[in-house]
Amino acid sequence: MSWEYEDLVLKAVDYALSLGAGYAEARYHKVARSGVATRNGEFIGLEKSFREGVAVRVLVGGALGFSSTDTLTWGGVKTAVDEAFAKARAHSKLMKHPIELSHERLGRASYEALEKKKASGVSVEEKVAYCADVWKHVSTATTTARVATLTMSLGESVEEKVVANSDGALIRSRVPRVSIWYNVVVTVPSKGTVQRFFSHAASGGYEWVEKWDVLGYLPGDVKTFERIILEAVKPPTDRPVDVVVGSEIVGLMVHESCGHPSEADRILGREAAQAGKSFIKPDMRGQRIGSEVATVIDDPTIPGSNGFYLYDDEGVPARPRYLYKEGVINEFLHNRWTAKVFGTQSNAAARAMDHASEPIIRMANTYFKPGDHTLEELIEGVKYGVYIKSYMEWNIDDERWSQRYGGLEAYLIENGELKHLVKNPVLEITTRTFYSSVDAADRNLEFYAGTCGKGEPMQGVPVWFGGPNVRLRNIQLRVIA
């Protein structure tokens, strides 16, 4: 572990205070990655890289300065502190609302996520052979269709940080992660193609690769994609129907339409020119957004999760955040700045992608609280509708109100039974319609991995999002023509 830079971090904080900063924070941050990439079972390349450096934030006259360097000497870090201080001071005259931070009980702790089976202990031959084996089984899985392309990569990373600030925080952490990413294209030249991008990722070790079992499920998925091309028909779009939404889509929906709009910096307009604003206004806590079934939680502390952490990058201890609770807007995601503005406490959402990034408010692992049904019961309760299990296309407007999901694997439901495949159904609804139309959720809780983008420069941070399968009543579907 890279605790050797702790002294540099502490010295940076002291030096910034000596210059006259009202607040100072320094973070040593290293992300080491390695991985193999393949196409159609053939090896492309192997990469093993790392980035490390020190990030500094200071408050001077109510202005916030950030500076980053990868020169890990006192000279390099001192220059970074000088730059952050000077640039903040030069802009303090433009500040109409000087930035202040909330008072918090900050941590002094060390933690790490555990690898049951070290990814670095698995040979590169085994990783390359695994990708080749997946191709072998996937490429022979179909009868009529051809699997044109399977691009696949298998990666691992270790993120190490030392965070210190002038309010007393000192947090050391180490989080290893593993991931698999693939893009598969199935084609019947006279009829079209189906494409699936998908990724798995988690904190921990190679045990996850074994658990995901891509080799076990992807040949079956590819057969389904072949059936979509050959058999799927237009979904019902002539009248509103009931829709059972698969956990994969539910996870993305809560990330996009609950997690993002609950970010307090977005609510306050700090990301207005980038990821946008929020339909949630500062005074909307307590307002109803959905049915009583709709509870959405964001929890950084889930062991093994992709968004795992126990203290945020401002030193605040992490805890589960109940963003929507039984259909009511309940809690925002806060850092110490937004907590001060809202007169509350931070709930530890400040996170930075790497040493070149400022900590900003981020989700960790966001999920829809499971209910008490089974998937079979959800479907049995539908007279006429559609079950959308997975998706490809999606987007949401910059206030997180109007969202769209293009279904990939989807089935017609008639009289409580799954019938034939339907092609390209589109769920295009508002956030209120989604949460208000949920009448039941099943007991499953599945998580899906993503890299959430936000900030300027863009920061992609690892997250999970998930949930159960849920049932929506009376939804007008569209279709991709």
Which residues, 64 to 93, sit near other proteins by CB under 8 A?
Answer: 64-73, 76, 79-80, 83-84, 87-88, 90-91, 93
Residue number, 343 or 457, with CB nearest to other proteins: 457
Q: Shortest gap between Cβ of 428 and other proteins (angstroms)? A: 5
Using CB under 8 A, pick the residue from 17, 328, 392, 445 that binds other proteins.
392
Residue number, 199 or 444, with CB nearest to other proteins: 199
Token digits of residue 123? 């040979």
- What is 361-410 written as a DSSP string? E---EEEEPP-SB-HHHHHHT-SEEEEE--EEEEEE-TTS-EEEEEESSE
Signed CA dihedral, 215, 445, 289, 461: sign only: negative
Q: Shortest gap between Cβ of 186 and other proteins (angstroms)? A: 10
Plot region of 467 (φ>0 → left; ψ -120 to 50 → alpha; else → beta): left
C-alpha distances (whole Å) from 286 to each of 40, 291, 321 are: 52, 13, 15
Signed CA dihedral, 221, 227, 230, 234: sign only: negative
Of the listed pieces 12-20, 45-53, 315-323, 343-351, which binds other proteins according to CB under 8 A?
45-53
Using CB under 8 A, pick the residue from 199, 291, 402, 444 that binds other proteins.
402
Token digits of residue 277? 């604003």
- Best CA proximity match to 169, nearest among 236, 108, 119: 108
Site for other proteins in 295-334 (CB under 8 A): none
Compute the distance between CA of residue 479 and CA of residue 481 in angstroms, rounded to an integer: 6
Site for other proteins in 404-463 (CB under 8 A): 404, 406, 424, 426, 428-430, 433, 456-458
Residue 94 interacting with other proteins (CB under 8 A) = yes
Residue 393 interacting with other proteins (CB under 8 A) = yes
Site for other proteins in 351-370 (CB under 8 A): 356, 358
Residue 476 interacting with other proteins (CB under 8 A) = yes
In one-letter notation, the amino acid at residue 187 is T
Q: What are phi and psi of 344, to 5 degrees?
A: -135, -165
Using CB under 8 A, pick the residue from 10, 17, 19, 43 that binds other proteins.
43
Q: Shortest gap between Cβ of 412 and other proteins (angstroms)? A: 18
Of the listed pieces 281-289, 341-349, 403-411, 413-421, which binds other proteins according to CB under 8 A?
403-411
SS3 of 50-104:
EEEEEEEEEEECCEEEEEEECCCCHHHHHHHHHHHHHHHHHHHHHCCCCCCCCCC
Size of the site for other proteins (CB under 8 A): 90
Using CB under 8 A, pick the residue from 100, 397, 418, 445 that binds other proteins.
397
Residue 281, burial from CB neighbour count under 10 angstroms (0-12, 13-18, 19+): exposed
Residue number, 164 or 243, with CB nearest to other proteins: 243
Compute the distance between CA of residue 86 and CA of residue 78 in angstroms, rounded to an integer: 12
Residue number, 233 or 272, with CB nearest to other proteins: 272
Using CB under 8 A, pick the residue from 11, 51, 174, 473 that binds other proteins.
51
Residue number, 328 or 392, with CB nearest to other proteins: 392
Site for other proteins in 205-234 (CB under 8 A): none
Compute the distance between CA of residue 441 and CA of residue 454 in angstroms, rounded to an integer: 30
Taking the CA atoms of residue 447, residue 336, residue 9 and residue 22 in that order, the dihedral angle to the nearest 10 degrees is 170
Site for other proteins in 144-203 (CB under 8 A): 148-149, 151, 183-185, 187, 192-195
Compute the distance between CA of residue 479 and CA of residue 197 in angstroms, rounded to an integer: 20
Site for other proteins in 97-136 (CB under 8 A): 97, 123-125, 128
C-alpha distances (whole Å) from 437 to each of 32, 181, 246, 291, 428 are: 44, 33, 15, 7, 13
Of the listed pieces 9-17, 34-42, 102-110, 461-469, which binds other proteins according to CB under 8 A?
34-42
Residue number, 88 or 245, with CB nearest to other proteins: 88
Residue 344 interacting with other proteins (CB under 8 A) = no
Contact 88, 56 (CB under 8 A): no
Q: Shortest gap between Cβ of 253 and other proteins (angstroms)? A: 13
Q: Shortest gap between Cβ of 313 and other proteins (angstroms)? A: 14
Of the listed pieces 135-143, 286-294, 390-398, 443-451, which binds other proteins according to CB under 8 A?
390-398
Cβ neighbors of 26 (< 8 A, separation 6 or more) are 8, 9, 10, 12, 13, 16, 54, 55, 56, 57, 77, 81, 163, 164, 165
Q: Shortest gap between Cβ of 3 and other proteins (angstroms)? A: 16
Q: Shortest gap between Cβ of 50 and other proteins (angstroms)? A: 6
Residue 478 interacting with other proteins (CB under 8 A) = yes
Site for other proteins in 243-262 (CB under 8 A): none
Of the listed pieces 13-21, 156-164, 198-206, 273-281, which binds other proteins according to CB under 8 A?
273-281
Compute the distance between CA of residue 441 and CA of residue 444 in angstroms, rounded to an integer: 8
